[in-house]
Amino acid sequence: MMLPGSEREEAVLGGPMGRAADMFATVLCKELNRLGEEAETSITWKCGGPINSGHECVDVTGRHGERPKVLVEIELRRQTPLANIVKIWKWIDGGKLRKENITVIQAFSRYYQGRKHDPRMDNAKFIGKQMRKITGAKYIPMELPFRPGKGAKKGGGARQKQAKKLASQILEELGSRI
């Protein structure tokens, strides 16, 4: 069973995704919509998308009308944050996304920040910057002051609080772009 409000389907994901990641994305999405409505932005936020191709989708997509504008990847504990940026770059390179209109936000939890120069985070940031140079798509890495517990299920109040805080940070970072 997918979480309420989630646009993702098990067929797209190949089975249920980590519940903790789904919960974080769902809370983030709801808060982005709530704050965006208050600020009267033109972006609507949905979990998943923008291209549901096999197992590949982002955590949250911000759309202006039908057009994807902001893609958010949340890196809580997964081992391959680099793959998320490569996936988006492939979409841009293949013409599935308009590069001049896309902003990619990749938020890293403290799980990646706890080590001295975690190569997974460093490599993802490096490729994100290269994607920006080559395609013109905007890449914004962010840091979450949150360390998810190993094997955590849905998480508790701390996870929801961090998702709401990240929503505020995202809208502040995007500012006049939305």
Domain boundaries, the chain: 10-169
Would you tell me how many other CB atoms lie within 10 Å of the CB of residue 30?
18
Question: How far apart are the C-alpha atoms of 100 and 97, rounded to whole Å?
Answer: 9
Question: Count of alpha carbons within 13 Å of 67, Cβ hemisphere only?
Answer: 11
Topology (CATH) of 10-169: Trna Endonuclease; Chain: A, domain 1 (3.40.1350)
Kindly report the pTM of this predicted structure. 0.84
Q: pLDDT tens digits, the chain, 178 residues: what are they?
A: 233 343 333 322 323 445 667 889 999 999 999 999 998 988 999 999 888 666 788 999 999 988 999 999 999 887 789 999 999 999 999 988 887 789 999 999 988 886 677 889 999 999 999 999 999 999 999 998 888 877 655 556 888 899 999 999 999 999 866 6
- Apex 106 CA angle, 49 and 172, nearest 5: 95
* Burial profile 136-163: b = 16 or more Cβ within 10 angstroms, e = fewer: ebbbbbeebebbbeeebeebeeebbebb
